[in-house]
Chain A
């Protein structure tokens, strides 16, 4: 079972078992302990208690409380927003609670593991205009303003999963769903170096002038590929990228500086 792969099943008619592994091992023990602490801190209405075992966490709940609270929530319209409907039996309600909590836990774990990754590298980006010709299209696709796209893009920290495709090209993870935009139906024959793009659920920066199908929302004056430097790539797998919006005057300043470096 992969990390945080899990399966749920009933225990009798008043319990839910979360299966987290298949054999007795210390790494699983640690995972189970941490998850148990998280679940105990985030009790749903009707939660009685949980116990942990070698490969499982078992949740005990008060069926009547779970059921009637869900009915009441549903009557207020809240449950529908959370995706829980009033035709559900207690186990199904609890299962939804657990699935939500597991997703939150995994996200929290990812964030904390992210912080154990490498350096945060701030990448200055000038968004829109001639620097990001596809920004209006991306904004229109998501039915928000271009400023909102910029705000979203700059408010995440993106782990660098790998370098490939072109020298210094970083494959970044962590793009918000609200930014994911399908690749252009017609790839451009030429993308200026430093272009910051969105292709499907990915975001990245083109280090060299290449053809490409991503939506270009901005441009960085930094050089991601420096053949004379050690290492030659600005970014490495495990780094974390943060985009910082800069005005065009600053872009030109930084780019001039870059040209002075002989790059």
Chain B
């Protein structure tokens, strides 16, 4: 049941909201690069926001549906089509049994998320279905999809509302979506080691563009740009401490590393800043070759943005549920 994978795409992995509770054992959180698109897709098909969905990078898969499903596609703009008919994004749609979904390329952005009602089947490892690629754990056999794979789908929680999904009008408002751009400005808060950089370095950090090099992946983006160096002995490295997705490290080369979903749990490089959680989805949608800029905001504002985004998603959830129930009658 579920899907048969015909072409797997460039890097397609199953991800739920992430693996939490095991950081102290060095186990990373993984999960979606763009948590906003991931959660939206799940909400649109009536799943809990953190359910297991498919993250598709740059070139998406083509897959054969073995059963009727309600699905949603969010994130990077794709030319996805179902048996030749263009698939709408940011709203639920029906995948009939026997049809072929072809996701194609990400026209704008980098990562798209396919959620199906009920969620994809994957054995939880340490409480999560997310794929930990480096360790070969979780998701679909601990790896990206390959041709011939069979993706199972769980029974939807609320079968009775499937009619409501089928007749769903409207899409996720652009008002609440992150301001996705090819070359976004990412808001950051200063890191603990920012004070060890000269004022001039910090200015350059906040003004100049940095290019996402091809040596960028789910673990982190290696950025090329203005070289930044700490002013004192911190160049030799500091005592290792916790890092998170969004942390921007400055190794002795002076070239920045923006840590992402599959990053390590601790690091010893100076941390000049952290991309705010609310803007991580923007970072996730930048392709290699794209550029980033950074803008420092206060810790307070960063929290406010995070809360606002979380509340918007909660409102989306309530709105979708209400609309689905209404249309069901």
Distance in Å from the Cβ of B269 to the closest Cβ of chain A?
A: 14
Stretch of A52-60, A108-116, A214-222, A248-256 with 4 or more beta carbons under 8 angstroms from chain B: A52-60
Q: Is B236 an interface residue (CB 8 A)?
A: no
Q: Is B23 an interface residue (CB 8 A)?
A: yes
Chain B residues near A91 (CB-CB < 8 A) = 299, 303
* Chain A residues near B (Cβ < 8 Å): 9-15, 17, 23-24, 48-56, 58, 60, 63-64, 67, 89-91
**Binary per-residue interface labels of chain B (292-326) against chain A in the complex, 1 for a CB within 8 Å, 0 otherwise:** 00000001101110110011001000000000000
Chain B residues near A58 (CB-CB < 8 A) = 241-242
| Chain B residues numbered 228-243 whose CB sits less than 8 Å from any CB in chain A | 239-242
Q: Is B212 an interface residue (CB 8 A)?
A: no
Asked if A64 and B242 make an inter-chain contact with CB atoms under 8 angstroms apart, the answer reads no
Distance in Å from the Cβ of B283 to the closest Cβ of chain A?
A: 13
Known: A12-B189, A12-B247, A58-B241. A51 touches B307 (CB 8 A): no
Asked if A49 and B303 make an inter-chain contact with CB atoms under 8 angstroms apart, the answer reads no
Number of A-B contacts (CB under 8 A): 85
Distance in Å from the Cβ of B261 to the closest Cβ of chain A?
A: 14
**Binary per-residue interface labels of chain B (265-309) against chain A in the complex, 1 for a CB within 8 Å, 0 otherwise:** 110000000111100000000000000000000011011101100
Asked if A13 and B302 make an inter-chain contact with CB atoms under 8 angstroms apart, the answer reads yes
Chain A residues near B311 (CB-CB < 8 A) = 64
Asked if A67 and B307 make an inter-chain contact with CB atoms under 8 angstroms apart, the answer reads yes
Known: A12-B189, A52-B24. A17 touches B242 (CB 8 A): yes
Asked if A49 and B21 make an inter-chain contact with CB atoms under 8 angstroms apart, the answer reads yes
Between-chain CB contacts (< 8 Å), 11 pairs: A10-B299, A11-B242, A12-B274, A12-B276, A12-B277, A14-B244, A49-B20, A63-B307, A64-B311, A90-B307, A91-B303
Which among A9, A12, A14 has the greatest number of chain B C-beta atoms within 10 A? Answer: A12
Q: Is B142 an interface residue (CB 8 A)?
A: no
Q: Which residue of A lies closest to B304 (CB)?
A: A89
Asked if B242 and A56 make an inter-chain contact with CB atoms under 8 angstroms apart, the answer reads yes
Chain A residues near B310 (CB-CB < 8 A) = 63-64
Distance in Å from the Cβ of A179 to the closest Cβ of chain B?
A: 41
Chain A residues near B138 (CB-CB < 8 A) = none
Q: Which residue of A lies closest to B302 (CB)?
A: A13
Distance in Å from the Cβ of A33 to the closest Cβ of chain B?
A: 11
Q: Which residue of A lies closest to B310 (CB)?
A: A64
Asked if A49 and B241 make an inter-chain contact with CB atoms under 8 angstroms apart, the answer reads no
Q: Is B118 an interface residue (CB 8 A)?
A: no
Q: Determine the distance from Cα of A54 to Cα of B240 in the docked complex, in whole angstroms.
A: 7
